[in-house]
Structure formats: C-alpha cells, structure tokens
Structure 1
C-alpha cells in the first residue's frame, strides 16, 4: 500500500514536470517566432526605406541634373544672345562709321558737282542753259603770260574751238563757228556755233585757266542760229 502511493506520487510529479517543461518550451518557441517576425519586419521595412531613400536620391539627382542642364542652357542662350548683341552692335558701329566716313569724304562727283540745266526765257532765242562744274580746261601748249588771239590761224583759236566742242559734244569737223571773240575781259571769250546742217545751235562761254588752257563755263542752247 505504501509503495503504491509512492509510485502514484512519482507519476504525478513527472507529469507535472513535463507539463512545466512543455510550457517553458512553448514559451521559448513563441518568443523565437516573435523575434523572427520582428526581425523579418525590420528587414523588410529597412529594405523599403533603403529603396525609397535610393529612389528619392535618384529623383533628387535627376532633378538637380535637369536644373543644372536648364541653367547651363540658359547660360549658353544668354551668352549666345550677348555675343549676337555684341556682333550686331559691332556691325552697327562699323556701318555707322562707314556712313560717317562716306558722309565726311565727298565723292568725286560731289566735288565736281552735277550738271545744272535751266530753261531759257521764252521770249528769247535761248532754249536752255547748261552749267557743269565738272568741265575741265582742255589743256594748252601756250606759255604764260597768256594773251588771247582771235584769228583763225592762231593756237588760241584751235584751243578755244576744242573747248567749245568738249562742252557741246559737237565735233570740230561738224562745227561752224559764226562768232568767236572777247567776252568782257582778257581771259574770257564767247563763241556762237552750230552744226553744219544748223540743227544744233549754241552760244558757249569759256574762260582761261592759267597754265591749263580754256575751260567751258556756260552753254546756251539756241532755238535758231546766231551769227553774232
């Protein structure tokens, strides 16, 4: 009887120990599982944070690159505009300088002047009057001091005929000289001429230029031939 009780008590004691051991073991298993879950969650969240941080970094880098590119494009565009503006300004300055030089330096035509043609008095025999500052002396082989001679065989006569031809465009071979004489001073002369067929009639005033010969001064185109 006594042994039976002792055996029965031992079984209860062993069962109680196993139960406690099971509880402890289950608790440990639960703790391990919980730790696994916590660690796994931390790793997953950390990975997502890293990916998000990497994504944010990439986006920020891309944004910075775009901003830098835009800034660089703006700088290049501004530089190009400045260069073009400077070039335009330089071209305008050159053009202005050239215009100033052109305006300051009169051309040969301006220095010589333009031909001036005016209508004659309707009640006179003068159809029109021509004055041309570009007329030049015809040259001379005569020495100074010059004394005008009006005989047909003289050198003066030949040079005066040449001067009247150059002013009117009438050739000497087609020219009839109706009158050639003094025009009020020793160095001024006037001649009345026409073409051979009398279709062109002129009165020409000429003046002597020292060492250069006779120079046309005025041409009057006449309506009819004048013998004086």
Structure 2
C-alpha cells in the first residue's frame, strides 16, 4: 500500500514540474515577442525620425538658398540698375545730348522739326465745337477729310440737278463725311452754301436716328471736300 502511494506522489510531482516548465516557456516566449515588438517599434520610429529630420534639413536649406537669392537680387537693385535699365538710361542720355545739340545749332532746324510735327498733328485733328443752335448737338471739323476726287474738267459750275455728275459727286462727299454709305442715307436737301463753290447737304440715316448737315467746298481738279458737319437732333427746321 505504501508503495502505491509513493508512486502516485512521484507522478504527481512530475506533472506539476512539467506544468511549471510549460508556463515558464510560455512566459519566456511572451517576453521574447515583446522584446521583438518593442525593438521593431524603436527601429521604425528612429527611421521615421531620421526621414523627418532629413526632410526638415532639405526644407531649411531650400529656404536659405531662396533668401540668399532674394538678398542678392535686392543688393543688385540697390547697388546698380540691371543691364536693360542701364542701356535705356544710356539711350536716354544720348537722346538728351542729341536734343541739346540740335537746339544749340540754331533755331532753323528746330523750327522745321516742330513745324512738321504740328502739320502732322493738324492733319489728324478732329475738333468738336459746341453749338448754341437748338437743332444742333455738336459741330465736327475733321482735318483728315480730303476732296473725294472728280471726273469734271475745266471751269467748275455747281449744279443742283438730280442725276448730274456734280450732283452725284456732292452726294458722295456728304456720305464720306458722315461715314455711312450713300444707299443708307436719305438726302433731304442739297443746296447752295453761300457761294458758287460751296454747298450744304441735309441727310439722315433711313431710320432717321442719325441726322447730319454737311458743308462742302469745291477744290479745283480734286472735287468736293467736306469742311464741317453738324450733328442734328431734329429734322424739323427750315432747310
């Protein structure tokens, strides 16, 4: 009987020992796994930190380079003009010197230059003159108007008969002054303008929105030339 109990006790102790070894092995395994996990996190975190530090260093370097470039540009602007500006300045100086030299040579050349400029400006001048007449909004004098040309030869006689060459050339000159084609105008009246070589035409667009009174003068061998035009606000007046 005692032998049986002794065997049972040894078996029981052996089982408890095996359980303890298993628990110990499990705990050791868990510790190893934890060590691996912690080590991996430390390694990955360190790598990320290195990457962030590298990116930050690159950004800082780029900012330094940009600031350096801006400072260089500012320094260049303060110390001197760019090459283009210097060229322009030199050209300006040369022009100024030329102008001064031209002025010192004598008044003849300067007067000639100014005269040509004035003539060129006068050729393109459009003068708008306020008018006190109730039927007129404004009066236009355009120095760019030219004689329209003519097929007539010899001494000119102004004719106010529909269908004649002179009549048709008057219509053409009136349309030229208004800027509208002949076929889009109504010719209300073409009459003598106070002299044998002067005429006046009263016209409007076909819808009667635009209304004009055009003054013509005859230029020998060149035809009728507009010299003045009234912008009318009504056609209700004595022609």
Pick aligned residue for 1:149 from 155, 159, 162: 159
Q: For residue 98 of structure 2, what is the aligned residue in structure 1?
A: 94
CA drift of 1:176 comes to 0.4
CA drift of 1:97 comes to 5.3
**Pair member with larger Rg:** 1
**What is the alpha-carbon distance in structure 2 between the residues aligned to residue 175 and residue 88 of structure 1?**
52
TM-score after normalising by structure 2: 0.53
Matches within 5 A, 1:115-194: 115-121=126-132, 124-194=134-204
CA drift of 1:155 comes to 0.7
**What is the alpha-carbon distance in structure 2 between the residues aligned to residue 172 and residue 88 of structure 1?**
51
Residues 1:178 and 1:89: Cα distance change in structure 2 (over 3 Å) = closer
Pick aligned residue for 1:196 from 206, 215, 237: 206
C-alpha deviations, 1:178-198, integer Å up to 9, x for none?
A: 000111111000010000000
SS of 1:105's partner is helix
Give unpaired runs (5+ residues) of structure 2: 1-90, 104-109
SS of 2:146's partner is coil
Verify: 1:214 aligned to 2:218, yes or no. Answer: no
RMSD, matched Cα: 2.7
Number of positions where the alignment pairs a residue of Structure 1 with one of Structure 2: 142
TM-score after normalising by structure 1: 0.56
SS of 1:130's partner is strand
Q: For residue 29 of structure 1, what is the aligned residue in structure 2?
A: none
Verify: 1:109 aligned to 2:113, yes or no. Answer: no
Residues 1:210 and 1:224: Cα distance change in structure 2 (over 3 Å) = same
